[in-house]
Amino acid sequence: MRLPTTPGRARLPAVFLSVSGLCALGLGATACGSSGTAVATGTEVYVLNFYGAEQGRADQEPADLVLSEFSTLNKVTWRSWGPTRASGTGNLSGTWCLPHCLDKPYAATVTLSSIVPVKGKGYFARYEITAKLPPGEKGKADLSGTLPTPPEPP
C-alpha cells in the first residue's frame, strides 16, 4: 500500500497509537519509534527550531537549525525528511569552536531521529552530527544529543 506524501516531505499518521506488539510483529504500522509507538499516515513531522524564534517554532526542513545551546547548523540542504528520520548537510558552528568557526564553519552531516508525539504532531527528538573537526575541537564539539520538543499540554 502506498502512503500519500507531499513532494520532499514524508507524512506521519494523524493518530498516534500505543502498540508495542504491533511494531515487533510488523502488523501494518508505518513507523515505530524505540518507545513502541506506532504512527500511521496523516501528520507531518517537525523539529522545534529556536533559530530566530526565542520561544521556538514547529519547523520542517529548516535552512538554519539550532541543535542545542552550543551548536547551530546553517545553509542546511535536506536529502530526506521523515517519517522516522531526516538527513541533511550544512555548516556547523557553535560556542565550542569560537573564534575559529565564526568565519569558516565546518561542513557537517546531520541526522534527526526519535519521533515524539506532541499535540497531534510528530517531533524529532535526537540529533547526530558527523563533521571533520580539528583535533583540538573534537572533544569540545556538541555532536549528538536531545532536541527540544514542545511541552505536553496539562
Mean of per-residue pLDDT scores for the chain: 77
> What would the pLDDT profile of 42-88 be if each residue is shown by its tens digit?
468 999 999 999 889 999 999 999 999 999 999 999 999 999 999 99
H or E segment and range at residue 112:
strand 106-118
Other C-beta atoms closer than 10 Å to the C-beta of 25 total 10
Model pTM score: 0.72
